[in-house]
């Protein structure tokens, strides 16, 4: 099999890994839009944070987050589709994505208590395609009529020890092994970088200007 044929086969697997979730349930986009000048929080409040995926195990194989699942205290789960980094690159089209960038995440949700679960994403180069799927397992409380900053989240892929949860699938075998996602696990950190993050959100999303933005850093379960 030629390198081109192998790449095409593995790309099909990656597409299935990332696109299948869209086919089995409704996927919502990000709550904040760059072109919007107003924000209605009467029905749904908005929670936002930054997300970085790093690969310390195999640094040459960065990945972009693409999908995120959020579960309410009522056991309802909402699937969100990320829309790229600050420049709009990296998601949902991940071909040739090898960078480690910061992704703005904004979730429109009814007031209540929530848990952020699985995050999925991936990347590729000319020869390989790879993907990850790992839960954040973070909790937050969203008040009514509010805009809330939840923190700065970093998912760091490192070498797996013992029976620790894998960062990604074992398939495709070679690609996942070489990229470090089948042999790695994710360390999750959440920090308060509101002094840097909030101005970046306000600059990108004009609808936030003049609004009261609360800071309530989500916590690990």
Beta bridge partners of 81: 67
Confidence of residue 94 (pLDDT cuts 50, 70, 90): low
Lowest mean pLDDT among 2-11, 40-49, 50-59, 64-73: 2-11
- The domain locations on the chain are 3-220
For residue 13, the model assigns a pLDDT of 52
Rg of the chain over all Cα atoms, to the nearest angstrom: 17
The answer to whether 46 touches 107, Cβ cutoff 8 Å, is yes
In the chain, the N- to C-terminal Cα span, in Å, equals 46
Per-chain mean pLDDT for the chain: 88
Instruction: Describe the strand order of the beta sheet including 112-124 as a list of residue ranges.
Output: 27-28, 77-81, 64-72, 112-124, 129-142, 219-220
Q: Is 4's pLDDT higher than 80?
A: no
The answer to whether 30 touches 84, Cβ cutoff 8 Å, is no
Q: Is 65's pLDDT higher than 50?
A: yes
Q: Is 124's pLDDT higher than 90?
A: no
For residue 68, give the nearest of 15, 104, 32, 112 by alpha carbon: 104
């Amino acid at each position: 099999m030629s390198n081109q044929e192998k790449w095409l086969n593995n790309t099909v697997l990656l597409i299935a890994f990332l696109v299948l979730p869209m086919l089995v349930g409704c996927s919502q986009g990000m709550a904040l839009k760059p072109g919007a000048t107003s924000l209605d929080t009467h029905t749904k409040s908005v929670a936002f944070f930054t997300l970085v995926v790093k690969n310390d195990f195999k640094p040459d194989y960065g990945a972009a987050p693409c999908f995120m699942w959020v579960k309410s205290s009522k056991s309802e789960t909402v699937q969100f589709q990320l829309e790229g980094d600050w420049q709009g690159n990296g998601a949902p089209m991940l071909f040739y994505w090898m960078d480690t960038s910061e992704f703005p995440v904004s979730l429109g949700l009814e007031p209540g208590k929530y848990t952020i679960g699985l995050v999925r994403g991936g990347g590729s180069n000319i020869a390989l395609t790879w993907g990850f799927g790992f839960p954040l397992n973070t909790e937050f409380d969203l008040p009514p009529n509010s805009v809330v900053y939840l923190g700065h989240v970093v998912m760091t892929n490192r070498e797996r020890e013992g029976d620790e949860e894998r960062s990604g699938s074992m398939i495709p075998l070679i690609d996942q092994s070489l990229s470090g996602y089948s042999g790695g696990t994710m360390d999750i950190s959440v920090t308060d970088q509101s002094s840097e993050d909030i101005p970046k959100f306000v600059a990108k999303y004009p609808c936030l200007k003049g609004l009261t933005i609360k800071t309530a850093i989500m916590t690990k379960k």
